[in-house]
Amino acid sequence: MPGTTVAAIVASLHGRSGKTLLARVIAEHFILSGGKPLMFDTDAIERRLTACFPYDAVVLDLSRVRGQMALFDTLARPFAAHRVVDVSQPAFRKFFELMRLTDFVAEAKAQGVEPAIFYILDRDHDSIAEAAELNERFPDCALVLVDNAFLPRASAAVREGAAFRALAAHPLRILMPTLHPALVEAIEGPAVSLSALMREPLSRSDADPGSRLHEASGPRISDAPLRCAIASRMFPTCDNLMRPEVGYTRLPVCCAAPGERPPSLI
């Protein structure tokens, strides 16, 4: 709904799931929409989100009380900026336990902040079971299940399990589509700002070496197709993907029905 402040919590039980990429794209979407989101990196060692936003992201160590208080106090604070949290694997259990103990969802909503958990599923049974548990533990918080097309599909045994079947009809589900290798290489550098790229004028020709995303010796992808790919998959044009009654704004990922396989990005 218009005017809603979003606290986007991006998490996955296991590593190498695309979690930080999703957190980055959500943050870039808010920036492209004219905002200046607050960004929190809970990985005090690798700091991957901070590498993408070195002057804006804040690193917080949730093994320390000071970091815990700083994160949850700021997330629930009543001001207009959207918030994005990249929940690292080591901090996963601690983050959601603190979220429960502090009654964060109720506190945030009382301050006009709408929390939403973006949980990336993978093929393992414990990942599916964790999603079902989060759905039960936080019934008043929007849980968006994220299917990453790059990850292997769950086995037949997992798909037949109770947790998988319970989530099959979950109403909030989005799809991270597969990416063309050239696009992956173009955006994997943490210094590349997707929102800045979208704002820049196009190169005069597809052969123009003005695309600053590549070294001279590396593979090239021209400005126009790159922008088209980002706009069509990473920053969809409509502003209200999520239904108004859900209480948060459209987010920069492509939507698909459960089980649908995406086309390649470009």
Q: How far apart are CA 30 and CA 178, in angstroms?
A: 22
Residue that wins the pLDDT comparison between 43 and 256 = 43
- What mean pLDDT comes out for the span 215-231? 47
Burial class (CB in 10 A: 0-12, 13-18, 19+), 178: middle
Tokens 């989101």 sit at which residue? 37
pLDDT at 164 over 60: yes
Residue that wins the pLDDT comparison between 71 and 155 = 71
- Per-residue pLDDT tens for 80-91? 899 999 999 999
Please give the pLDDT value at position 149. Answer: 85
CB of 37 within 8 A of CB of 67?
Answer: no
Please give the pLDDT value at position 207. Answer: 43
pLDDT at 214 over 80: no
- Token pair of 234, please? 């990473």
Q: How far is CA 226 from the centre of its chain?
A: 20
Q: Residues with Cβ < 8 Å from 248, sequence gap 6 or more? A: 1, 4, 6, 114, 116, 142, 242
Q: How far apart are CA 80 and CA 108, in angstroms?
A: 12
CB of 6 within 8 A of CB of 249?
Answer: yes
Q: State pTM to two decimals.
A: 0.78
Residue that wins the pLDDT comparison between 251 and 223 = 223
Residue that wins the pLDDT comparison between 265 and 152 = 152
- What mean pLDDT comes out for the span 172-201? 71
The least confident of 20-24, 190-194, 244-248 is: 244-248
- What mean pLDDT comes out for the span 60-84? 95
Q: How far apart are CA 145 and CA 108, in angstroms?
A: 21
Please give the pLDDT value at position 111. Answer: 94
Domains and CATH numbers, the chain: 5-178+236-255 (3.40.50.300)
pLDDT at 206 over 50: no
- What mean pLDDT comes out for the span 105-126? 94
- Residue from 179, 118, 178 nearest 153 by CA: 178
The least confident of 17-21, 36-40, 63-67, 91-95 is: 17-21
Where residue 56 falls among pLDDT bands split at 50, 70, 90? very high
Where residue 224 falls among pLDDT bands split at 50, 70, 90? low
Task: Find residue 66's DSSP bridge partners.
Answer: none
AA letter at 76: A
Q: What is the DSSP letter of 244?
A: G
Please give the pLDDT value at position 29. Answer: 84
Average pLDDT, the chain: 77
AA letter at 115: P
Tokens 């704004």 sit at which residue? 249
Q: How far apart are CA 183 and CA 60, in angstroms?
A: 31
- Per-residue pLDDT tens for 226-260? 555 555 555 543 333 333 333 333 344 433 333 43
Count of Cβ atoms closer than 10 Å to residue 48 Cβ: 18
CB of 253 within 8 A of CB of 230?
Answer: no
- What mean pLDDT comes out for the span 131-139? 95
Mapped onto helix, strand or coil, the DSSP state of residue 181 is: helix
AA letter at 68: Q
Kindly state the percentage of the chain with pLDDT values over 70: 67
Task: Find residue 143's DSSP bridge partners.
Answer: 117
CB of 49 within 8 A of CB of 57?
Answer: yes
Angle between helices 92-101 and 125-137 (to 10 degrees): 10
Q: How far is CA 251 from the centre of its chain?
A: 9
Q: How far apart are CA 224 and CA 234, in angstroms?
A: 15
